[in-house]
């Protein structure tokens, strides 16, 4: 099944962006910003976003797996120790989507690390748009250094509807997928969302962990696979933001996330 083609028929219906709080992930501050002193743990948001659109609702990222933590958790012990997830039952993706009461037509995955792709198994027939290089890297992984093999094993068993891409893709009149390429991960995707009242928003995901990774005082994150690619993407995001006068939302910026509203239109 091919990815959904652009549709410009709103039929008077509203376009909205819903912000989903999926709990918190603790990590070392030096992973967010290279060169920061190690040994300082920071609580960072785990988020997903739903774009409500009459041509089909789009989910961007799926957070952590509900069974990630604990003695029988899917995450290996070292993941649970170094990147513990915390939250309440209502922070899990199925609960958040149940409150919204919206069907999801398309899932776009920024990348396949465990705090962004843990819920893909809940969408067995839904198109899962992902960067082709990232999908290949996740399935080729032989250890749990970047991808959780217990989760990829579930994906294989469920034969999910992957839709790998290597270029940008316009989903509808309000949403365009942006190909960030390699940087934080083997292949990153972002979204450019055009809202009638709130203006343009660029979801950078982990191409930019936080404001410190962004212009004008760009500092590399501490966790990446391609330093040059990461820096090039940061410059590209700044150029796009200037061109469209867009807000840039980062992947794990606690201060920024705390300032966001639940819904934008």
132 SS3 class: helix
The pLDDT-based confidence of 237 (bands split at 50, 70, 90) is very high
Separation of alpha carbons 235 and 121, rounded Å: 34
> For residue range 16-41, what is the model confidence (pLDDT) as tens digits?
999 999 999 999 999 999 998 899 99
pLDDT at position 177: 98
pLDDT at position 145: 83
5 pLDDT higher than 90: no
pTM for the model stands at 0.94
pLDDT at position 194: 98
60 pLDDT higher than 50: yes
66 SS3 class: coil
Q: How many CB atoms lie within 10 A of CB 185?
A: 30
DSSP 213: G
Separation of alpha carbons 118 and 111, rounded Å: 11
Q: Pick the closest to residue 115 from 133, 142, 93, 131 (CA basis).
A: 93
The pLDDT-based confidence of 3 (bands split at 50, 70, 90) is very low
How much is the average pLDDT of 239-256?
98
Separation of alpha carbons 42 and 253, rounded Å: 10
223 SS3 class: coil
> For residue range 124-171, what is the model confidence (pLDDT) as tens digits?
999 999 999 999 999 999 999 889 999 999 999 998 999 999 999 999
84 SS3 class: coil
pLDDT at position 14: 87
Which string of DSSP letters, residue by residue, matches 133-195? Answer: HHHHHHHH--SSSSS-HHHHHHHHHHT--EEEESS-EE-SSSEEEEEEESSSSSSEEEEEEEE
pLDDT at position 115: 97
Separation of alpha carbons 168 and 115, rounded Å: 23
pLDDT at position 13: 66
How much is the average pLDDT of 42-48?
97
Separation of alpha carbons 47 and 28, rounded Å: 18
Separation of alpha carbons 230 and 236, rounded Å: 10
What percentage of the chain reaches a pLDDT higher than 90? 90
121 pLDDT higher than 90: yes
Mean pLDDT across the chain? 94
Alpha carbon dihedral 163, 202, 212, 144, in 10-degree steps, equals -10
CATH architecture of 16-173+253-264: 4-Layer Sandwich (3.60)
Separation of alpha carbons 157 and 114, rounded Å: 17
12 pLDDT higher than 70: no
The pLDDT-based confidence of 9 (bands split at 50, 70, 90) is very low
């Amino acid at each position: 099944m091919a990815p959904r083609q652009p549709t410009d028929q709103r039929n008077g219906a509203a376009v909205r962006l819903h912000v989903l709080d999926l709990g918190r992930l603790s990590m070392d501050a030096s992973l967010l910003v290279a060169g920061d002193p190690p040994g300082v743990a920071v609580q960072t948001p785990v988020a997903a976003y739903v774009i409500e659109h009459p041509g089909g609702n789009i989910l961007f990222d799926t957070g952590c797996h509900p069974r990630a933590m604990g003695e029988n958790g899917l995450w290996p012990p070292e993941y649970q120790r170094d990147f513990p997830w915390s939250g309440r039952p209502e922070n899990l993706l199925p609960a958040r989507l149940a409150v919204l009461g919206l069907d999801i037509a398309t899932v776009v995955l920024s990348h396949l690390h465990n705090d962004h792709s843990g819920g893909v198994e809940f969408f067995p027939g839904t198109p899962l748009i992902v960067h082709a290089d990232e999908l290949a890297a996740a399935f080729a992984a032989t250890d749990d250094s970047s991808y959780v093999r217990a989760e990829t094993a579930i994906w294989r068993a469920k034969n999910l509807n992957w839709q790998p891409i290597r270029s940008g893709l316009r989903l509808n009149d309000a949403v365009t997928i942006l190909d960030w390429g390699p940087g934080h991960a083997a292949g990153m995707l972002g979204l450019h969302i055009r809202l009638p009242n709130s203006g343009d928003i660029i979801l950078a995901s982990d191409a930019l962990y936080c404001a410190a990774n962004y212009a004008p005082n760009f500092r590399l994150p501490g966790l990446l696979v391609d330093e040059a690619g990461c820096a090039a993407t940061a410059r590209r995001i700044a150029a796009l933001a200037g061109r469209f006068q867009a807000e840039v939302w980062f992947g794990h910026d606690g201060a920024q996330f705390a300032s966001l509203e639940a819904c934008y239109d």
